[in-house]
Structure 1
């Protein structure tokens, strides 16, 4: 499917960003969710210091990249193997997917997931690969989310189901700002 995403193609743009415009809204292709993945309609996303650190080059990531990782939305489609979510569920995206099996995950420290950190560093989803494309090829995922977009495909392990009564703009903060604090 086609979606709109905020894509970063170069790091280190001059400030103020309102003038240099390091992000560009682009129409990109989003693959359907693969095994253990979910497509989410993004309803709210926060701009986090981690996003700014990628833009200014303090936190280098592979480019081009669709940014954003602090978000909430509605489940639109489920990949094979996802049995604990339903279309229409409200979810929060988290910046560190947890495999559930590595030593830190097994020890109750999922924020230190080794496969999750490795996938994030490569610009991939936890299950491997990328689901975003433009005419030139693949686009990297930011922290497994790429939430500055109308729609995102993410690992099931990057989502937390939340109550439908929680406003999206509040729920989005739980994915990074509250989690980090």
Structure 2
């Protein structure tokens, strides 16, 4: 029996309070309104940004259904939707692409003005929620909310993908892989034969390494205090691994020594202010490029000497690897289907929704 136009009752992981476990609840998911899409979620990744909400370093409205790295199948569509239809495989987009704002019209930029990270409303574009639990409205997260069996998104926040794609793998293109890979190939524009340093070897850091390798970097130096991550980093393309705790001098000095004066490109994929400075300082002072990939702590600032940039360094940042979401995600999935890159090394565990708290424990322990 068709569920189109009807309220769907399903399970979702709801965060009611900060620093508390997720609660698996029965939620009611309302039908999509005009220009909205209801999706049956098949798979979702756990991202450090979700954990930033749990611990309060990334602010959004509570209670909330988190998750922004998922893939599913369109269950029904609202009036006026033209880019997807029921039965399509799709990836929700935490950065929308409205196609109308100045950013969307810019040939390079991707941070659509409808994006909610800086001012999270916790709603869809019309200012209302589609989730209800215990008689209370439950907020959305970044217009996606993938920690649920069904979700509703705006049409500008969903991309139709290859019909044969394995959703349990390509869900990672919804955030982690694209964020890292794009930071190397699109934002830094890593060059053939160059030397790169990557700080942080979680899923996004590994994706940065994959991007550096694809761009032809000759040396890719992986940096992390967890040596257990080194083997996987080398599997995806790191040429050497360094643990800062093995040295008495600052890691930026170590990297400048081993690279003969500074690396060509560096990437901070942790979200710490001290490692952001180290990543900048380890760059060659005349032409090095450093990219901030990790989400920094809420309301914290860096104090730095402008001379670090005056000499010629470039300091950059980007969200989602600089990719325009609605047009780029289908292409990345097609590239995956053509075996231009693998996602297998980014998957360490597969758990049911009911064990989401175990998944976050694994994330916090460094197993990702």
Q: TM-score, normalised by structure 1?
A: 0.89
Q: Give yes or no for contact 1:119–1:125 (8 Å, CA) kept in 2.
A: no
Partner residue, 2:19: 12
Q: How far did 1:115 drift?
A: 2.2
More moved, 31-40 vs 128-137: 128-137
Runs of 4+ that moved beyond 4 A: none
**1:56-95 deviations in whole A, cap 9, x for unaligned?**
1110211000111100000110100112212111001111
* 103-112 vs 87-96, which moves further: 103-112
CA 1:167/1:118 → structure 2, altered by over 3 Å: closer, same or farther?
Answer: closer
Counterparts of 1:150 and 1:163 in 2: how far apart (Å)?
21
- How far apart are the structure 1 equivalents of 2:119 and 2:76? 22
Structure 1: runs of 5+ lacking an equivalent: 14-21
Q: Quote the Cα distance in structure 1 between the aligned partners of 2:77 and 2:109.
A: 23
Q: Where does residue 17 of structure 1 map in the other structure?
A: none
State the distance in 2 between where 1:127 and 1:171 align.
Answer: 29
Q: CA offset at residue 171 of structure 1?
A: 1.4
Give, in whole Å, the separation in 1 of the partners of 2:32 and 2:67.
18
Instruction: Give, in whole Å, the separation in 1 of the partners of 2:79 and 2:19.
Output: 39
Residue segments in structure 2 that go unaligned for 5+ positions in a row = 1-7, 181-368
Sort the Cα spacing of 1:115 and 1:84 in 2 relative to 1 into closer, same or farther, 3 A. Answer: closer
Q: Distance in 1 between matches of 2:118 and 2:35?
A: 15
- Larger CA deviation: 122-131 vs 105-114: 105-114
1:2 aligns with 2:9: yes
Partner in structure 1 of residue 105 of structure 2: 106
Counterpart Cα distance in 1 of 2:155 and 2:118: 14
Bigger Rg, structure 1 or 2: 2
- Label 1:34 to 1:23 Cα distance change in 2 as closer, same or farther (>3 A): same
Which residue of the partner structure matches residue 50 of structure 1?
A: 49
Aligned length in residues: 173
Match for residue 59 of structure 2? 60
State the superposition RMSD in angstroms: 1.7
Deviates most, 88-97 or 111-120: 111-120
Q: Which has the higher contact order (CA 8 A, sep 6+)?
A: 1
Contact persistence 1:119–1:126 (CA under 8 A): no
Higher strand share: 1
